[in-house]
Chain A
Amino acid sequence: MADGRDAILVVDDDREIVGAIAAALEKEGYRCLRAYDGMEALDRALDPGLGLILMDVMMPRMDGLSAVLRIREKRNLPIILLSAKSEESDKVLGLSMGADDYLTKPFGIQELVARVRSQLRRYTLLGDVNAAPAGVLVNGRLTYDPDSRTLTADGEAVRLTATETGIVELLMRNPGRVFPAEEIYRRVWGEEAFSSENTVMVHIRRIREKIELNPREPDYLKVVWGIGYKMERHG
């Protein structure tokens, strides 16, 4: 990494999980620190070269959420929670405690690596985001510049077709709002459609493949079943 803060702290009371994650990350060229409970994580978190923390929630001595709270007092770095709890409420709680992402066990190692990479890129790009020119639309990992009609995810440009760009622009301009397929079709294609659902769905799926870390469980481009499609609003 540019600033040398490329070390990743992996915290889990299950040593084999820590081992697997570390192996996968080291393969990608990251340096890994290991901790097996919350207290140990607090010690390791002081390492100045630390760029990201992967934190299990249920651990002995000190649980992950408490550790995240304590670490947040001192350090500003991305934290991804790993948890066996898959409820929406657990996820919301974790994110409100100061975590940047939440990954439910059991997870695929590829997805984990993708999320780590995404978080690290976002944090290094933070300065650029703040300096984003007026008129640029920012939503979490995604940035859309209407002037150049370009979308970037984690700072990397995403190659979209003209139709896909139209859909992305409509949704990025109205994050959180649910659009029925007919409206998307009318506004992007500019004509009335008799059976638009399939067409829109195909495009949505394609965009997802390009911007989502796990297209099967999208974080941004979501289908609201029975109503329409929306761009989830992210902080």
Chain B
Amino acid sequence: MDTKWNDTADAGGMPVLPARQKKKRGTLRAAAAFLAFFLGVGLLVESGLFFWANLSSSGGRQWLEDSFQADYQDTREFRSRMSNYLETLITMGAGGPVYGAYSGGYDGYDPGWATSDPSAGAKAAAWAAQMDLDKNVLFSVRVDGAVKYASSEMLSPPAQPADLPEGYNFLLLFDGKKVRAWKDGRELDLYGDGYYTENSDWYLPGYKNFTLSEEASKVQVAMAVAETPRQFIQGSYEYGGTRQYNQLYWLKENLDGFRANVTAHLVRLGAGAALALLYVLLRRDKQRADRALARGTGKVWFEVKLLAAALLLFCLLPRPAYLSEVWSELGYAYSSQAAYAGTELEEMIESGTWDSAAALSPGETFVVLADNGGWMLREYLSSLTDHPLPLLTLFWGLYLLVFNDLRYNKQPWRHGICGMLAAKELKLPIQRRLMRRGVIPLVLGLLWAVSFILVMWVFRDGMGRVVVWFALLIFGGLLLAVLAAYARRAQEMAIDLGALADQTARLRAGQVEDPLDLPPQHDLAQMADDLNHVQQGLHQAVEERTRSERMKVELVTNVSHDLKTPLTSILSYTELLAQETLEPPASEYVAILNEKTQRLRTMVHDVFEVSKAASGQLPVRLEGLDFGRLLRQTLADMEQAIQDSGMTLRPSIPEEPVPITADSDRLYRVFQNLLGNALKYSLPGSRIYLSLSVAEGKAAASIKNTSAVELRPGVDYTGRFVRGDESRSDGGSGLGLSIADSFTRACGGTLDITTEADLFTASVVFPISPEA
């Protein structure tokens, strides 16, 4: 890690610094980068949420537009308030009922608390009295010319803008048919093309499609609005305190406040973007910081982190209290009233203790959600935007505990209780591990099913229901998690099993170099390891054998030279001696020496042939030849020896060619040895049978003779220095059959020796080669 930091620093063209200083600078940069990321994302999210919440609705956008108007009287909101005022005043003049307050907050127009008389007139009078306290709007309501209600300053209503009192710049007049309005002495165009639409600013009578009833036509209204709204407060202590009457003041204040708020958030958005840009530039350093953090969080048990993340979610996510109210009302609206009319539920509804969720059937719940789900989700999300700080804390908590941890710590779930259990499980024999895997999901599934039954039929309400719901969730979640983990394991195992099978096949084919490495936590890791050991053992054995073969060949070469040199001397001097005229018994001794030396020569020659053949060093020159002809030639070649032996040879060789592929000289040696053996060891005067037969694509030549001595069963006659009769010490080296066997195999054939009683059979089998 450290070297990597320095590398990036150097690549950036930084001056060469001592390692410690470089490291310090690297740490600082990492911290700065992380801070930029932390603050940048925080500011972006906070301001982003603010704008999303305030601008996602058309009302919000309208309000933003209004807040940036220099004069509050130029806002749409102001026009709407004026329209409402006028509607109330005309209602009062026409004798209609006046309802509640126009707005909440600090404004207190509420005729309800000012009078206990429920009649429309009394309410209107109380209303007018309260409105009189708000000097930001002056009004007069006349019916047929007579003043019915009016502000104290407006007993004689102004007929034109010039008549407005000091500090007022907006005049609105209703003459029973139409409305006219002036601002700063200039008349406003209220009706546009004369038709009212949803988009019209003013909601007033006088449009071609907005007519009046006869009673209403008798009413005339005048309104004067202050240029700068002020606060008006009345100490109505007999009701327990003060009350304020300043609708327009608060309108202007709210607009100003919102403008300041928007500006502040724009600044934050900009700062957030700048910090985010800085983070993008320093993202390598930030990654280092992430890694450092991950090293820290990596030391904590995974379960602890999971629990902390869950707690964060639970505590910091704003609770949908608001939604539950909406849900209650929806439940009430959707559920069939007849079902609980006249029951205890009805009282519960009345008293507000009714739990709507319990009253809704699952089908109804679905309908409610289908109809209102999207809207409710939007409501919930926008209520989240009111809590940026907890939301950010949640984000950072999850970033640190979950996201960053998963990103930089390799398989963090390994470190923790589950990881330890898994590690402990790995110590079990594989069959017990696999058996367990069936049991755990079964238990969890049973628990889940029990919870489900309880929640459905036993605990229909109350605290128990909540607990069982919780259990249902937990067991379900655990079951899913365990099944997912096991599914992954099963998949891993399938792949590993395939790899193991391949590896075994490779091993069988003799590839002993590449071991199979499985991750230690895999189920078959132990098996793979064992296989690797077997493979390694084989590898060593093969290497050992190769080395020893090579050494054997070298030994043979060296010994060959060391043996042949003195043998040459012995042979030469013996021959020289034999040429001298010697007196008996010296001449007899020389004759013996000569004979034995010749035998030694043959033996040494044979020993090297066999050694070379055994170590695979025997050069063979394969060519197509006629097996039958080879046998006939061999017989012809050995004719003298056969005659001298006193045996009778009975050949049975087909005239037609028997084509095989072999080394001509080596194969001759094979039959020379086999026939020589037969001549040497047969019962005197007995018959030797030589036959060549062709069957199933194979040519088999067999030599059968009756042994002069009793044959011992179970002797491998092709072994080196093996003889039929252990006690005999004749001319043979004991290597004849061994050479025959080696040569036959080197040529691609097989030599079989069978004995039955005293019948000795040697058969040489070669595959017939296709006719050339």
User: How far does the alpha carbon of A131 sit from the alpha carbon of B105 in the complex, in Å?
Assistant: 143
Determine whether the beta carbon of B571 is less than 8 Å from that of A108: yes
Q: Per a CB cutoff under 8 Å, which of B568, B634, B660, B668 touches A17?
A: B568
Interface: A97 (CB within 8 A): no
> Does A180 count as interface, using CB distance less than 8 angstroms?
yes
**In the bound complex, how far is the Cα of B561 from the Cα of A14, in angstroms?**
12
Check B619–A24 contact: CB distance below 8 A: no
The closest CB in chain B to the CB of A89 belongs to B619
Q: How many angstroms from the CA of A89 to the CA of B579 in the assembled complex? A: 34
Contact A24 B633 (CB under 8 A): no
Let me know if B567 and A105 touch, CB within 8 A. yes
Q: Is B565 close to A, CB under 8 A?
A: yes
A189 within 8 A of B: no
> B661-696 interface mask toward A, CB cutoff 8 Å, 1 = contact, 0 = none?
010110110000000000000000000000000000
Chain A residue numbers with a CB within 8 Å of B637 are 201, 205, 223
Selected contact of B633 from candidates A16, A27, A223, CB within 8 Å: A223
Does A110 make an interface contact (CB < 8 A)?
Answer: yes
Residue pair B561, A225 in contact (C-beta under 8 Å): no
Contacts of B571 in A (CB 8 A): 106-109
- Compute how far the CA of A228 lies from the CA of B636 in the bound complex, rounded to whole angstroms: 12
Q: Is the CB of A226 within 8 A of B633?
A: yes
Does B579 contact A226, Cβ atoms closer than 8 Å? no
| B303 located at the interface, meaning its Cβ lies under 8 Å from any Cβ of chain A in the complex | no
Say whether B34 faces chain A, with CB atoms less than 8 Å apart: no
When distances are taken between beta carbons in the complex, the residues of chain A under 8 Å from B564 are 84, 105-106
Q: A225 and B569: CB pair below 8 A?
A: no
Is A20's CB under 8 angstroms from B569's CB? yes
- Which of B572, B632, B639, B660 has the largest count of A CB atoms less than 10 A from its CB? B572
Closest to A222 in B: B665
Q: Is A197 an interface residue (CB 8 A)?
A: yes
- B632, A23: Cβ atoms under 8 Å? no
Distance to closest chain A CB from B550 (angstroms): 17
* A21-B572, A225-B665 known; A197-B619 Cβ under 8 A: no
Q: Is residue B62 contacting chain A, with contact meaning CB distance below 8 A?
A: no
> Is A198 at the interface (CB under 8 A from chain B)?
yes
- Bound state CA distance, A109 and B573, in angstroms? 9
Alpha-carbon gap, A181 to B605, bound state (A): 31
Provide the residues of chain A in CB contact with B633, threshold 8 Å.
Answer: 181, 197, 201, 223, 225-226
Among B565, B573, B579, B623, find the residue whose CB has the most chain A CB atoms closer than 10 A: B565
B368 to chain A, nearest CB (A): 98
How far is B565's CA from A87's CA once the two chains are assembled, in angstroms?
16
Cα(A205)–Cα(B634), bound, Å: 13
| Closest B residue to A58 using CB positions | B561
- Residue A88 is within 8 A (CB to CB) of chain B in the complex: yes
Report A-chain residues with C-beta under 8 Å of the C-beta of B627.
226
A201 near B629 (CB under 8 angstroms)?
Answer: no
Does A162 sit at the interface, judged by CB under 8 A? no
Which of A20, A58, A105, A197 is within 8 Å of B636, CB to CB?
A197
A108–B632 Cα gap in the complex (Å)? 30
Partner of B565, one of A84, A86, A205, A224: A84
The answer to the question of A202 belonging to the interface, with a C-beta cut-off of 8 Å to chain B, is yes
> Across the interface, which residues of B come within 8 angstroms of A106, CB to CB?
564, 567-568, 570-571, 601, 604
Contacts of A110 in B (CB 8 A): 575
Instruction: Say what secondary structure dominates the interface of chain B.
Output: helix
Tell whether A227 is near chain B: CB-to-CB under 8 Å: yes
Residues in B620-664 with C-beta less than 8 Å from chain A: 623, 625-627, 629-630, 632-637, 639, 660, 662, 664
A17 and B619 form a contact (CB under 8 A):
no
How many chain A residues touch B (CB < 8 A): the figure is 34
Q: Which of A173-207 contact B (CB under 8 A)?
A: 180-181, 197-198, 200-202, 205
Contact partners of A24 in chain B: CB under 8 A: 572, 575-576
Measured CA separation A76–B662 after assembly (Å) = 41
For residue B69, CB closer than 8 A to chain A, the reply is no
For A17, what are the chain B residues with a Cβ–Cβ distance below 8 Å? 565, 568-569, 572
B636 touches A201 (CB 8 A): yes
Of chain B, the residue at the smallest CB distance from A112 is: B572
Could you tell me the distance between the alpha carbons of A168 and B464 in the complex, rounded to whole angstroms?
Answer: 120
Cross-interface CB contact of A109 among B572, B619, B626, B635, cutoff 8 Å: B572
Q: Chain B residues with Cβ under 8 A from A201's Cβ?
A: 633, 636-637, 639
Tell me the count of chain B residues lying within 8 A, CB to CB, of chain A: 39
> Which residues of B lie under 8 Å from residue A89 when comparing CB positions?
619
Per-residue contact bits, chain A 205-222, to B (CB 8 Å; 1 contact, 0 not): 100000000000000000
Smallest beta-carbon distance B349→chain A, Å: 112
Query: In angstroms, how far is the closest chain B Cβ from the Cβ of A197?
Result: 4
The answer on a CB contact under 8 Å between A20 and B576 is yes
Contacts of B604 in A (CB 8 A): 106
Residue of B nearest to A194 (CB): B655
Residue in B561, B579, B629, B632 whose CB lies within 8 Å of A84: B561
How near does chain B come to A235, taking the closest CB pair, in angstroms?
A: 21
By the criterion CB–CB under 8 Å, are A198 and B664 in contact? no
Complex interface: chain A residues within 8 A of B573 (CB): 16, 20
- B662: nearest chain-A partner, CB-CB: A226
- Contacts of A197 on B, CB cut-off 8 Å? 629, 632-633, 635-636
B560 contacts A by Cβ under 8 Å:
yes
Quick check: A227 and B664 within 8 Å, CB to CB? Answer: yes
Which residue of A has the minimal Cβ distance to B557? A85
Expressed in whole angstroms, the minimum distance between the Cβ of B642 and any Cβ of chain A is 11
CA distance A217 to B560 in the complex (A): 20
Query: CB-CB < 8 A to A227: which residues of B?
Result: 623, 625-626, 629, 664
B576 touches A225 (CB 8 A): no
Chain A CB count within 10 A is highest, among B568, B619, B630, B664, for B568
Cα distance A87–B664 in the bound complex, in angstroms: 16
CB distance from A12 to the nearest CB of B (A): 9
Tell me the bound Cα distance from A197 to B575 in angstroms: 36
Interface bits A9-27 vs B (CB < 8 Å: 1, else 0)? 0000010110011011001
Contact of B629 with A180 in the complex, beta carbons under 8 Å: yes
- A126-179 interface (Cβ within 8 A of B): none
List residues of chain A with CB within 8 A of the CB of B565.
Answer: 14, 17, 84, 105
A106 to B711, CA, bound (A): 35
Question: Which chain B residues lie closer than 8 Å to A27 at the CB level?
Answer: 576, 579
Are A226 and B629 in contact, CB atoms less than 8 angstroms apart?
yes
CB atoms of B626 and A226 under 8 A apart: yes
Q: How far is the CB of B346 from chain A (nearest CB, A)?
A: 115
Residues of chain A within 8 A of B568, CB atoms compared: 14, 17, 105-107
Which residues of chain B are near A109, meaning CB under 8 Å?
A: 571-572, 575-576
* Bound CA span A221–B72, Å: 132
A residues less than 8 Å from B569 (CB atoms): 14, 16-17, 20
Residues B395-430 near A (CB distance < 8 A)? none
- Which residues on B sit within 8 Å (CB–CB) of A86? 605, 608
CB-defined contacts of A20 to chain B, threshold 8 Å: 569, 572-573, 576
> Using an 8 Å CB-CB cutoff, how does the interface string of B418-450 with A read, 1 for contact, 0 for none?
000000000000000000000000000000000
Digit string of B608-626 for contact with A (CB within 8 Å is 1, else 0)? 1000000000010001011
- CB-CB under 8 A from A21, the residues of chain B are 572
Q: In the complex, which of the residues B566, B605, B639, B668 contacts A198, with contact meaning CB atoms closer than 8 Å?
A: B639
Pairwise interchain contact B619-A88, C-beta atoms closer than 8 A: yes
The CB with the most chain B CB atoms within 10 A, among A17, A27, A226, is that of: A226
Q: Give Cα A21–Cα B568 distance, bound, in whole angstroms.
A: 10
Which partner residue on chain A sits nearest B580 by CB separation?
Answer: A27
Inter-chain contacts of A200 with B (CB < 8 A): 636
Docked CA distance A14–B573 (Å): 13
Which B residues are in CB contact (< 8 Å) with A198? 632, 635-636, 639
| A–B Cβ pairs within 8 angstroms, 24 of them | A17-B569, A20-B569, A20-B572, A20-B573, A24-B575, A24-B576, A86-B605, A86-B608, A106-B568, A106-B570, A109-B572, A109-B576, A110-B575, A197-B629, A197-B633, A200-B636, A201-B633, A223-B637, A224-B625, A225-B630, A226-B626, A226-B664, A227-B626, A227-B664
List 4 extra interface pairs beyond A87-B619, A226-B668, A228-B629, CB under 8 A: A14-B565, A107-B568, A226-B630, A227-B625
- Those 4 A-B pairs whose CB atoms lie nearest each other, nearest first: A226-B625, A226-B630, A201-B636, A20-B572
